[in-house]
Amino acid sequence: MRHFRCLALTLPSGTVFQLRISKGLFLAALGSVYGFSGKVLQDLGYRKLVLQVGRGSVCPDPFSTNTFTLEVFRFKNSLTEEVQAADLVISHAGAGSCLEVLEAGKPLLVVVNDKLMDNHQLELARQLHRDGHLFYCSSRDLVETLRSMDLSTLKPFPRGQPEKFAEFLDKAIGI
């Protein structure tokens, strides 16, 4: 069994998290309830879950047992510390969130909001998945995707080269 320190989970504001310690963790996303058992995480080797719940209507109480810890917060100025500590980040598919995690070199699973019109999140997730940098799913497929994905197949995200853009601008304006 693999043993991971931490799983960080951030989803769009409005996503609701509910915790029932006796029955594990239940995730209610986009108005529909999807069972998400704490045992699933433990079976996968995770010992800690860090939740950013944003403006969600329910904010579960943090807890810790001998085998599992739940940390919860609404907002922080920066998620850099949580991302660096995570063995896997689950996030919505916003461009900023994806780039922050991929540039940190962390495995990423994005949950696409399939209710969006002109779904740019899905387009971005599909392309980054085709390029081998992340996995993606809908909220209803989250548990199955967690069970089936192989993080060792992910490719590192290439570092940006802002100096090339600066050179281009310099040439374009004649400097």
How buried is residue 99: exposed, middle or buried, by Cβ count under 10 Å (0-12/13-18/19+)? middle
Give the per-residue pLDDT at 40.
73
Q: What is the mean pLDDT of the chain?
A: 75
Give pLDDT tens digits for 114-168.
776 677 889 999 999 999 999 999 878 888 898 899 999 999 999 877 788 888 8
- Is the per-residue pLDDT at 50 higher than 60? yes
Q: Above 50 in pLDDT, residue 33?
A: no
The answer to whether 115 touches 30, Cβ cutoff 8 Å, is yes
Residue with tokens 């999140």: 121
Fold (CATH) for 5-173: Rossmann fold (3.40.50)
What pLDDT sits at residue 24?
35
pLDDT at 117: 62
E strand residue ranges, 53-104? 63-64, 69-73, 88-92
Confidence class for position 81, pLDDT limits 50, 70, 90: confident
Partners of 34 in beta bridges: 27
One-letter amino acid of 59: C
Mean pLDDT of 106-112: 90
Does 37 have pLDDT greater than 60?
Answer: no
Mean pLDDT for the stretch of residues 74-98: 85
